[in-house]
Structure 1
């Protein structure tokens, strides 16, 4: 027996009315997240130099795209000078928890100049966190330096793992897959890996031009899928169509580094920061560690 059309329409209308308060509640919650993130992105504690990069790095829209909520357990990989840490730490301090995975800080006397540089930067951020507890709260800290230091916590520990412009370094070192496998291991099923990375020029479906510091988007997606992730979404939040990606010093020719010094400085400033991919991966709810995963 088929229900009369009017009864069906009445039922659908009733269901829609019941959903309206829920939609309003979700919208209000999202607005609250937006307001909190915007407040911390413009916070007086942040330096003018850091805040000047907000239009290029789009922190509020980026963190909302990654669905970062105040109650989450969040792991930020290689925070460097703490550009995102300054926003994430106070946002998470009351209900959630921020953990940052530094470069190791015990290499201040290392023979390698790059290791000394990153050890010094990591130490400076640790000192700031200790000196400004009213802003940063209780940020947990650990060392991440693949392949030697690879462990980032317990399996299924985090709701979100976030990486901003790090993947090209792991790729150069031959540890990109290992790193992604570890992110997969420590994420909860249903957890999100958010990645922002300098984007190479795509030449064809199977090739790209990747200057220094740039990576091919399809390549990163492929490696993440090998590690067990599924691509959930991608965004052009951090795209820059002015970036030709063929600069003499690669991405480092552009601000903020401006590696060429005064040479073509105005031209690079006019281009702005690099064209960046923004990728959101999910660890499937049904996921189990793949057989090739890094063992604890």
Structure 2
């Protein structure tokens, strides 16, 4: 493709997700690369709700995906996308040149909680109802008893998961999930993990109850599956979060489990303090 045609194609892709304004992320970050600017436009695109865009300030999606080295021509797997907050960014970003697998909750499990079944069905409906953005998403599943292959073996450049490790720990199959993510990655591929961060020394029982996990434990799980730790980032840190709330991480927004009790206090804290960790599947 000639340079002029390539530029026109990229511009059209940006406009599909909203052309107005300078491509500045909602957290104030200003990307300098073409791919970063494309991410910024997608992150506040017209296909996203105002409520989801408002959470960009806490989740820093442009900086996070750049830290994980996600490029638009890669094969990327998102583990447990939930309601699709990150899918709204990844799917259009990868749509034209890349491949995107969305490994949702396994509905074949007899023990899947009702709320996860409901979320997964709503997620599938979300993909179906907006084909202009989601028609090329490849849905797969992750969960017991048998859904551990989220993508073809050694096929993914990146496997990403956001705020899910605490669930796997509580459910008792974290090691199996990390094994499955390792299998999906190409040699040299990157695993990106964002997770609510517990204070060092927090017990496993406290992690299960609170939803906060220590960095040491995440690194241990990754190492057991064969991953090498690469580096961490404080992109998603929140120093206001003391990680010791009465209803765990769900005390904070967006859940606000205490309702109106101390609501303003928790709104002022914002979303949880989060680790952002990068691991690599060894190349040889």
TM-based fold match above 0.5: yes
Contact 2:160 2:193 in 1 (8 A): yes
TM superposition shift of 1:105? 4.0
1:21-41 residue CA offsets vs partner (Å, 9 max, x unmatched): xxxxxxxx9701111100010
> Could you list the runs of 5+ residues in structure 2 that have no partner in the other structure?
1-30
Contact 1:151 1:182 in 2 (8 A): yes
Equivalent position of 2:268 in the other structure: 270
TM superposition shift of 1:148? 3.5
Q: What is the aligned counterpart of 1:118 among 116, 121, 124?
A: 116
How many angstroms apart in 1 are the aligned matches of 2:151 and 2:247? 36
Q: Does 1:217 align with 2:215?
A: yes
Contact 2:201 2:214 in 1 (8 A): no
Equivalent position of 1:237 in the other structure: 235
How many angstroms apart in 1 are the aligned matches of 2:127 and 2:258? 33
1:3-34 residue CA offsets vs partner (Å, 9 max, x unmatched): xxxxxxxxxxxxxxxxxxxxxxxxxx970111
How many angstroms apart in 1 are the aligned matches of 2:94 and 2:151? 18
1:23-66 residue CA offsets vs partner (Å, 9 max, x unmatched): xxxxxx97011111000100011001100100100000000000
1:60-112 residue CA offsets vs partner (Å, 9 max, x unmatched): 000000000001011001111100000000100111011101113467xx7x6
Match of 1:126, SS?
A: helix
How many angstroms apart in 2 are the aligned matches of 1:183 and 1:100? 12
Equivalent position of 2:131 in the other structure: 133
> Could you list the runs of 5+ residues in structure 1 that have no partner in the other structure?
1-28, 287-296
Q: Does 1:48 align with 2:46?
A: no
Contact 1:156 1:188 in 2 (8 A): yes
Change (3 A) 1:190 1:156: same
Contact 1:230 1:283 in 2 (8 A): yes
How many angstroms apart in 2 are the aligned matches of 1:39 and 1:215? 32
Equivalent position of 2:27 in the other structure: none
Count of aligned positions: 253
Contact 1:90 1:137 in 2 (8 A): no
Q: Does 1:152 align with 2:154?
A: no
TM superposition shift of 1:128? 1.6
TM superposition shift of 1:203? 4.6
How many angstroms apart in 2 are the aligned matches of 1:125 and 1:237? 27
1:186-231 residue CA offsets vs partner (Å, 9 max, x unmatched): 1000100000000001259x99964610001011101211110001
Match of 2:230, SS?
A: strand
How many angstroms apart in 1 are the aligned matches of 2:96 and 2:56? 24
Q: Does 1:285 align with 2:280?
A: no
Match of 2:82, SS?
A: coil
Q: Does 1:37 align with 2:7?
A: no
TM-score computed with the length of structure 1 as normaliser: 0.81
Equivalent position of 1:91 in the other structure: 93
TM superposition shift of 1:146? 3.0
Could you say what the CA RMSD is over the residues aligned between the two structures, in angstroms?
2.0
Equivalent position of 2:3 in the other structure: none
Contact 2:94 2:100 in 1 (8 A): yes
TM-score computed with the length of structure 2 as normaliser: 0.84
Greater C-alpha radius of gyration: 1
Change (3 A) 1:145 1:244: same
How many angstroms apart in 2 are the aligned matches of 1:278 and 1:264? 28
